[in-house]
Structure 1
Amino acid sequence: MIKSMRFYMIFILLFSSYVCAQNTGDSLAIIENNLVETKVKDTTHSPQKAALLSLVPGAGQIYNHIAMPKGKKKAFWKVPLIYAGLGATGYFAIQNHIEQKALKEEYEFRAKNEVPNLQKYAQYDQQGVLTLFENTRRSRDLMIFAFIAVYGLNVLDAHVEAHFVEFDVSDDLTFNIKPRMHDFRTPGIALSFNFR
């Protein structure tokens, strides 16, 4: 099982690096007069594409990281956190599922034979085994929901961060507060923002 998990992780990393290494910004445009194909560079960064790429966990974050201007690259550090969250929640969901199946078998064995089957559950009575079964089932379900939440946050994070890739805070942002008279008798304040 560990070898298959390693293979799965290596496959995901190689696939995501392959997808991100593709030339994502080129598109073909056909000039109607001469029927000549020319390459046109796509300069917009797509949040939808980032969300779509993040269906492979971490690929959307890498796509955003590559598109960020030099000096602002910071999206790659989230990839290990995503895989850690998915791995931990997946591991605990599987462990609780295995434990739940063992407790179910123990409960059914005791119902037929009225003696414990496995030594590790010998200290529990029939009701104790049933309580343990319900607790592990609840923990398994919680870990499944946590896995889905981590996966969903991965997609949401890639989509939101893609909106900020081209976000530029200029040095020439101004905010002015000036006194103002409304209707020549009501004093007030005028707020003005200047974005250049």
Structure 2
Amino acid sequence: MTFAAQKPIKNRALDSLYPYKKAALYSAILPGGGQIYNSIHSSKRKNAFWKVPLIYAGLGASSFLLIQNQQTVNSIKTEYAARQLGPAQNPLWFDYDNFALISLYDQYARFRDLSILGVGAVYLFQILDAAVEAHFLNFNVSKDLSLQLLPYASPQNLGCTAKITIKSMNKR
């Protein structure tokens, strides 16, 4: 098998034209900021604004679950502490014995921990999305892409080459 490569031509104007680090930084500072930055600074893609409500819906839903689970954990903890001093006080937990309360506490503490992971995952995903989208803004997806398979024979070995032709970014 034979491989051949050419040195890639680096276009400094395109690299400095759209830095992906800036989009990631804006998303880290304000969730959805990198997506808005990508939409504003892109001549090809003006449609990344739809991602912002999805980001805030994901952050809102996971934050809501985090708050609800934390309140339930606190309520169960308070009820268990109150039962150590006397009979059950909260009618919400009246039907549960102490062992069931401990089991519920563990379950809701786990749900709370998963909600924390959910908030972090949505936050990191939107930063990653902004950075990847910024990388792809100058990606050439024109009709001038082609792939040719060229079989060849040489005395030492037989093989096949794959030649990919990509339109130069400088010939616009």
Sort the TM-score into its range (normalised by shorter chain).
0.7 to 0.9
CA distance in 2, matches of 1:146, 1:78: 17
Do residues 90 (structure 1) and 63 (structure 2) align?
yes
Query: Residue 67 of structure 1 contacts residue 165 of structure 1 at CA under 8 Å; is this kept in 2?
Result: no
| TM-score for the superposition, normalised by structure 1 | 0.73
CA distance in 2, matches of 1:147, 1:190: 47
In the TM superposition, what whole-angstrom CA distance separates every residue of 1:13-62 from its partner, at most 9, and x where no partner exists? xxxxxxxxxxxxxxxxxxxxxxxxxxxxx961110000000020001001
Q: Give the deviation of 1:137 after TM superposition.
A: 0.8
In the TM superposition, what whole-angstrom CA distance separates every residue of 1:176-195 from its partner, at most 9, and x where no partner exists? 11220122x64322221112
State how many pairs are aligned: 152
Matching residue of 2:158: 187
Matching residue of 2:83: 110
1:85-164 equivalence runs, <5 A: 85-113=58-86, 115-164=87-136
Matching residue of 2:142: 170
Q: Percent identity?
A: 41
* 3-state secondary structure, aligned to 1:167: coil
Moved over 4 A (4+): none
Paired amino acid for 2:124: G
Q: Give the deviation of 1:120 after TM superposition.
A: 1.2
| TM-score for the superposition, normalised by structure 2 | 0.83
Q: Give the deviation of 1:164 after TM superposition.
A: 0.5
CA distance in 1, matches of 2:144, 2:98: 73
Matching residue of 1:62: 36
* 3-state secondary structure, aligned to 1:152: helix
Greater alpha carbon shift after TM alignment, 118-127 vs 166-175: 166-175
Paired amino acid for 1:122: F
Q: Could you say which structure has the greater relative contact order, defined with CA pairs below 8 angstroms and 6 or more residues apart?
A: 2
Unaligned 5+ runs, structure 2: 1-14, 168-172
* 3-state secondary structure, aligned to 1:168: coil
Unaligned 5+ runs, structure 1: 1-41
Matching residue of 2:24: 51
Alpha carbon RMSD of aligned pairs, Å? 1.6
CA distance in 2, matches of 1:174, 1:120: 67
